[in-house]
Structure formats: C-alpha cells, structure tokens
Amino acid sequence: MIGFMVRHPVATFFSILLHVVLVALLTIEWTEPSASIKISATNSEDSQPNAVSEVRQIEPLKTFAVDASLVQEKLEKIRAQEAAKKQESQQLEAKTQQERARLKELQKHQKIEQEKAEKARKQAIQQRAKTEAERRKTELERQKTEEAKRLAKLERSKAEAEKVKAKEARKAAELAEKERLKSIEKSKQAEKIRLLEEKKKRALEKENAAKAKENEALKKAQEKAKATAALQRQLDEEASAQRKAQKRKQLVSLRESYISAISAKVRDNWRTPARISPKAECDLQIIQTPKGNVTSVKILNCNEFATKQFKVAAEKAVYRSEPLPKPPVKELFERKITFEFKP
C-alpha cells in the first residue's frame, strides 16, 4: 500500500479528498423544496412552433451548508499528511535509489566474480585436458614399454622353446638309434626263437598226428555213446509225456468230479420256490476259501426262464452249502469256480 502511495501521490491525494467530502456530505442536513420543471421541445420535422410537451419532472438540487473552517482544517490535515507522505516517499525513493545502486554494484561485482569463475573454470578444463593428454601420453609410453617387454619375453620364450625342441630332437634321435639297435637285437633273437619254434612245431606235429588217431577213435566212441544216450532220453521223454498226459487226464476227470460234487451239494440245498420254470438255467460263479467257505456268489449267463426269484434262490442255495466239498487232491483247488446250475 505504501509503495502504491509513493508511486501515485496525486491519485492518493484526490482519493483522500474525495473521502473527506463524502464524510462532510453525510453530516449535512438537506432541504427538499418541491418544484416542477417543464421542458419544451420543438420537433424540427413537425414545423409546429408552439408545441410544448412535458417530458419529466426533475427534482430540485439539494442544497447544503458546509462549515468552511472544518473543511479548511481537514484540508490542512490532509496537506500535512501529504507532506509527510511526500517526505517519506522521497526518503523511500532515496533509499530505493541507494538500493538500486548497491544492487547494480553487487550485480557488477557478481558479473566480475562470474567472469573470474568462468575464466578459472576454463583454465581448469584446459589444465585437465592438458593433464589428461599427458596421462594418455604417459599411458601410451607405458603400453609401448609393456609391449616391448612382452615381445622381448616372447622372443626369449621362442628361443628357449627352440632350444628345448632341439634338445628333444637330439634325445629322440638318440632314442631312435637305441631302438634301432634293440630292434636288430630283437630280430636276431626272433630268428633264433623262430628256428626253435619250427623245431618244436615239427615235433608237435608228429605228436599231434599220433594224438589225432587216438582222438578219432575216442570221437567215434563218444558219438556212439551220445547216440545211445539220446535214444535213451527220447524213450524217457516219451514215457514222461505219457505219464503227464495220463495225469492230466486223471486231473481233468477229478476236477469234473470235484465241480460235480459242488454242483450236487448246491442242488441238494436248493429250496424250490413257487412259480419256477424247470427250464431255468444260470451259470454260478463262486469265490471260496481253501476251507470251502463262500466269500461271494455271482449269477452269470442266465437264460430267458431264469427269473429274479430263481436267481435269489440259487444264490441262497450256494450259501447253505457251506462248507463246499474239498478237492480230492490239493492242486485241484480253485478259488474261483464257475458251473451251470439247473433246478
């Protein structure tokens, strides 16, 4: 607000003056004389000189009395305030000018410092670039030195390898000569051994010829014994097959008797219900224990005459037949037995 008053002193003065006048007007008593004002208007288009029309009633201006001393006092007070504000504004303006000058000087100083900093930064960059170039140069020199050392080491390694290779070649030549001499010696020994082997071979051939004659006679005797043994085995196998066939036949007969005994016992325990056809037939599948106890009964493959009543009666007959007959021989026992049942 003070800054605005400083920047616009005239506007501020008139604003204060307006407020004072408004306050004065509010404290004045108003008189209201009634009067009517008639306004005559001549229409230029009608050309009628004495045409008078009453347009509107205008209320009279309101008059008021103002205390001149009060206004003068207010004005003096305002002038004093304006003078004080003007002086304050001048002081503020002076301070502002000083602040601007100080700010300008500070900006100038900052610009100089920035230029110095920029110059120092550029110098630092140049110095870093120079240092980096020197470092790269030093690194390159070091790499060259390392490469030279590596090449020298490689050359030394090659020379040493050549020496080792030459030494190994000499050893190989010496070893080859030794092997050649050994080979000659072995050849001589092999010739001696060959002559001995041939001598032994001739003696062995004579011995083998004699043994061959003996073996031939022995072979004929063995073949005769084998033929006799084969004939005996064939006779034994035929006799065994006959015995097995006879035993199977006996077992089949015994099994049929065993199944018939079970079927007969179930039929003995059959209780004929009413209205059962004598033509009814079913296969009964029985699962039993070695002691003849029935664990389950299943009705299979019934004809059209086998009613539900017939099936239930047949199942009950099986359970009434416990324990079932035991097989004549133990090997005929079957856990699951199926047989045809008729009433």
Q: Tell me what pLDDT residue 6 has.
A: 62
Q: How many CB atoms lie within 10 A of CB 286?
A: 22
d(CA 90, CA 94): 6
pTM metric for this prediction: 0.32
Sketch the domain layout of the chain as residue ranges.
Answer: 269-341
Residue 14 reports pLDDT greater than 90: no
Average pLDDT over residues 200-222: 87
For 2, the token pair is 């003070």
d(CA 198, CA 228): 43
Task: Give the model's confidence band at 303: pLDDT under 50 very low, under 70 low, under 90 confident, else very high.
Answer: very high
Contacts of 337 (CB under 8 A, 6+ apart): 259, 262, 285, 286, 288
d(CA 263, CA 271): 14
Q: Tell me what pLDDT residue 49 has.
A: 44
Q: Which of 56-60, 91-95, 222-226 has the highest mean pLDDT?
A: 91-95
**Among 49-58, 124-133, 288-297, which stretch is predicted with the lowest mean pLDDT?**
49-58
Q: Tell me what pLDDT residue 42 has.
A: 42
Residue 321, judged by CB atoms within 10 A of its CB (0-12, 13-18, 19+), counts as buried
d(CA 295, CA 36): 139
Task: Give the model's confidence band at 293: pLDDT under 50 very low, under 70 low, under 90 confident, else very high.
Answer: very high
Query: Which of the two residues, 335 and 273, has the higher pLDDT score?
Result: 335
Determine the residue type at 311.
Answer: K
Most distant CA pair in the chain, distance: 191
Task: Give the model's confidence band at 271: pLDDT under 50 very low, under 70 low, under 90 confident, else very high.
Answer: confident
Percent of the chain with pLDDT over 70: 86
Q: Report the candidate in 263, 266, 283, 276 with the shortest Cα–Cα distance to residue 320.
A: 266
Overall size of the chain counted in residues: 343
CATH 3.30.1150.10 fits 269-341, yes or no: yes
Query: Can you give the C-alpha Rg of the chain in angstroms?
Result: 74
d(CA 290, CA 323): 10
CA angle 291, 292, 295 (to 5 degrees): 110
Q: Tell me what pLDDT residue 43 has.
A: 46
Mean of per-residue pLDDT scores for the chain = 82
Q: Report the candidate in 101, 23, 96, 35 with the shortest Cα–Cα distance to residue 66.
A: 23
**Continuous H helices in the chain:** 2-7, 9-26, 68-268, 308-320
Q: Report the candidate in 340, 343, 330, 342 with the shortest Cα–Cα distance to residue 259.
A: 340
CA angle 118, 119, 122 (to 5 degrees): 85
d(CA 127, CA 291): 114
Model pLDDT for residues 22-48, shown as the tens digit of each residue = 877 776 544 444 444 343 444 444 444
In the three-class reduction of DSSP (H, G, I as helix; E, B as strand; rest coil), residue 279 is classed as coil
d(CA 58, CA 36): 6
| Residue 226 DSSP class | H
**Among 65-74, 138-147, 229-238, 301-310, which stretch is predicted with the lowest mean pLDDT?**
65-74
Average pLDDT over residues 227-237: 82
